[in-house]
Amino acid sequence: MRTAIVWFQRDLRLNDNPALYQASQRFEQVIPLYIDAPKEAGLWAPGAASRWWLHHSLAALSDSLSRIGSLLVIRSGDTEAVLRELIGEQGVAAVYWNRRYEPWAEARDQTVTESLSATGIDCRRFHTGLLHRPQDLLNRSGSPYRVFTPFWHRIEAQMFDQPVLPRVRQLNAPAKPVASLPLADVALKPAHAWADSIAAHWRPGQAAAEAVLQRLVDRAADGYADGRDYPALAVTSRLSPHLHFGEISPGQIVYRLQELAAGDASNRQSLIRQLAWRDFAYYLLHHFPKTPEQPMNPRFREFPWRSNTDRFLSRWQRGRTGIPLVDAGMTELWETGWMHNRVRMITASFLTKNLGIHWLHGARWFWDTLVDADLANNTLGWQWVAGCGADAAPYFRIFNPVTQARKFDAEGRYVRRWLPQLAGLPNRYLHSPWEAPSDVLEATGIELGSAYPMPLVDLGQSRKAALAAYDTIRTPA
């Protein structure tokens, strides 16, 4: 009987899965395979929070496959070697998988395809993780887009033209037993003490992803367009980690969003625009593959970043900067593995502009602590905020965390949730406790420098220093 391997990567679902669907239609026997090969990602091997999510997502996928007559095979090692070994053991005729667009993954997959094809194996790669293939879109001059708005105008009309494949409901496992590692043996779960804290906020897996999307549709994406900038409001979709691990596809989301009534068009459009930003992030990563480590704007290679970062960086990471909105965001990240998007921008701006620390330090911290850590989105976000990437805000646009807090957390609900030690402060001083009179601090039992730190830097002076640093690279020599 003809047998195919379906190699799972970031597509951990049975619905709208082209590689799995096509293999199930064309072959009598299918071997679902996951290969643990973190070294192949080089500097961007999955971080601790990602490993936690991956562990539980694979467990959910394994359970789903067992319900349709199959088993998830888990192996560890060099991808091509693992595939060749399994091909030899089972007499496999084909290997099907869905594309990834990280530069290292594209290079590896091309090598695997050429090598296995040369031995007669039918290798097929399918597009599913993005709404549009990055290599298909160029501007009128034949060059890659570097700005989001024209990219958005190019793809906007095609956003709803996304076919969604049916769920695979039956697979035939090979008659000959297939050896597999226990999930626990690949050591995906992090040893960090905060793993239990993260688990209290998330449920990985396809069923959970579909439930999140269903709730979003049921409440008609209630207030998303107007409320997504307010961190205390529960209006964001929280689909990002499910999307990253492919527990749900962007096509499925777009398809379901069409159910929203005409009156909810603004919410629907705002959500779809965020999916387009995700596509744009991968588009830039595909066309500018060095950007995870290097600035897109070459002038920033000479930027005078702070050289001694130890004390400031550690305080930022642990939410002890003395700037409440920044510290609330970093505390949310540490406890939940996630942070509201606007707060991500504010905390990133504070690190790069006010503290003068290289954006790569922040990118790597987010990479290790976010459950939705995604190389394309992480790179785009940090370079955008630092001012050195595509579609970047001018460097002199520096987020003032106090002004931002007073606008987007005016009642202080977000800050009070994550910094309960400041809960007693009146709104007037909550976002800048160093401005509170001594009698107000005494009445609320807050001793600055003890219960809550004094600010690491003066926001006004550090802004001036950032602008002065920018002046050193603004005009090419």
Dihedral of the alpha carbons of 467, 473, 474, 477, in degrees to the nearest 10: 150
- Give all domains of the chain, ordered by start, each with its CATH number: 3-128 (3.40.50.620), 129-163+206-287 (1.25.40.80), 298-472 (1.10.579.10)
Q: What global pTM score does this model have?
A: 0.95
The answer to whether the beta carbons of residues 354 and 348 sit under 8 Å apart is no
Chain CA centroid to CA 101, Å:
14
The answer to whether the beta carbons of residues 414 and 346 sit under 8 Å apart is no
According to the model, what pLDDT value does residue 158 have?
Answer: 76
Joined together, the tokens standing for residue 326 give: 């920044």
Element (H, E) at 126: strand 122-126
Joined together, the tokens standing for residue 257 give: 């969003």
According to the model, what pLDDT value does residue 177 have?
Answer: 92
The answer to whether the beta carbons of residues 456 and 322 sit under 8 Å apart is yes
Q: What is the mean pLDDT of each run of 10 residues along the chain (477 residues)?
A: 95 98 97 96 94 95 97 97 98 97 96 98 96 90 92 83 89 93 82 81 97 88 86 92 97 88 77 94 96 94 91 96 98 96 97 97 97 97 93 76 98 98 96 96 92 96 94 73
Question: What is the largest distance, in Å, between two alpha-carbon atoms of the chain?
Answer: 82
The answer to whether the beta carbons of residues 328 and 405 sit under 8 Å apart is no
According to the model, what pLDDT value does residue 195 have?
Answer: 82
According to the model, what pLDDT value does residue 156 have?
Answer: 85
According to the model, what pLDDT value does residue 477 have?
Answer: 44
Amino acid identity, residue 319?
G
Amino acid identity, residue 357?
I
According to the model, what pLDDT value does residue 194 have?
Answer: 77
According to the model, what pLDDT value does residue 192 have?
Answer: 66
